[in-house]
Amino acid sequence: MVEELEQEYTALKDKVRDLREYLDAAKPRQQLAEIEKQVADPNLWSNPEKSQTIMRERKRLQDVLSTEEDLLRRETDIKTYFDLAREGENVESELRGEIGSLREMVERLETESLLSGENDARNAILTIHPGAGGTESQDWADMLLRMYLRWAERQGFQTILNDYQPGEEAGMKSATFTVNGEYAFGLLTSEIGVHRLVRISPFDQAKRRHTSFASVFVSPEIDESIQVDIKPEDLRVDTYRSSGKGGQHVNTTDSAVRITHTPTGIVVSCQNERSQHKNRERAMTMLRSKLYEFELEKKREASRKIEESKLDIDFGSQIRSYVLQPYRMVKDHRTKVEVGDVDRVLDGDLQPFIRAYLLTRRGEKQA
């Protein structure tokens, strides 16, 4: 069995070598040394925007070097285990665990290497809306919300639920949340579009098969280093009582805030915070992010404009189908990737779909 593990590790070593060449530790080490000189300058902190940008770059470079060191350490550990195995020690289970852990890390890093877009490294703001179909679609939208929250948890990302509008019987009418983590936006771009569910409805006494739809939209969260011109006269601000998921303050005061940007029709809501002021502040951050993405789409003159991504949530427009009856399968209609373990996907294991989408996107750019 050790021989089989050696063969498996030989193939993995080639990928590790490629990744270490891609990370090119000498270059970020030199860049980090230059940044440390800037950080040591007391004048840096008088410019909050510049210091924020530099500290973010510093962390990125530190993460690159930490990753390179982690790869090297794992290789050394595995080599040591193989040496012990050749000496007659029973370390097969340890070897299998170390190789499996290294493989997961390599797959994650390979996926990140596909992210080179202008905003791919940023946090993400994700919004889910149910399609037509009332309770059935609203329940499906709620299932998607749980799936993405579980995905973020698996990635070690932090999530903040900004707005949640519950359905009348079950599920939800809409939800918006922020995902804080390295490359959150780049990874979640694969999820933009309409998601289709086929199942025996738990809300149908006749136990008939139903098809439900929900749309997912993702935009990058931008910071103060990017200027977005928003005129006060273009905004309509409404306040209302919070509803749905939250703490003791829910439904007690008009703390929730909804902001409509009249020229574009973009609407954002936030009810996560206890105070109206903080909810307004958070809503403005979301609005700036959505307007920034809106303007980027116009500048790129892409075939898919932001409003066009809000297709009719109906047959023919879906990017992915989740079939629970009469068979069990999740299929991505863009990449043709299929996964039979539906429960695992709904519990947040989206890596096969994300990776395939990013590979397809890179192929389209190179074509």
- How many structural domains compose the chain? 2
pLDDT for 106-135, tens place per residue?
988 888 888 878 789 889 999 999 998 789
With both helix axes pointing from N to C terminus, report the angle between 48-86 and 92-113 in degrees, rounded to the nearest 10: 150
Q: Report the CATH number at residue 13.
A: 1.20.58.410
pLDDT for 262-320, tens place per residue?
999 999 999 988 888 899 988 998 998 888 888 777 765 544 444 444 445 555 568 99
Same domain, 194 and 274: yes
Same domain, 197 and 318: yes
Same domain, 97 and 166: no
Q: List the domain range (segments joined by +) for residue 332.
A: 121-367
Taking the C-alpha atoms of residue 33 and residue 35, their distance in angstroms, rounded to an integer, is 5
Residues 6 or more apart in contact with residue 156 via CB below 8 angstroms: 181
Identify whether the C-beta of residue 279 lies closer than 8 Å to the C-beta of residue 270: yes
Same domain, 291 and 167: yes
Identify whether the C-beta of residue 320 lies closer than 8 Å to the C-beta of residue 330: yes
Q: Report the CATH number at residue 273.
A: 3.30.70.1660
Alpha-carbon separation of residue 28 from 16, 38, 60, 328 (angstroms): 18, 15, 9, 46
pTM over 0.75: no
Looking at the DSSP bridge assignments, the partners of residue 238 are: 258
Same domain, 147 and 104: no
Taking the C-alpha atoms of residue 41 and residue 25, their distance in angstroms, rounded to an integer, is 25
Same domain, 193 and 306: yes
Taking the C-alpha atoms of residue 72 and residue 212, their distance in angstroms, rounded to an integer, is 48
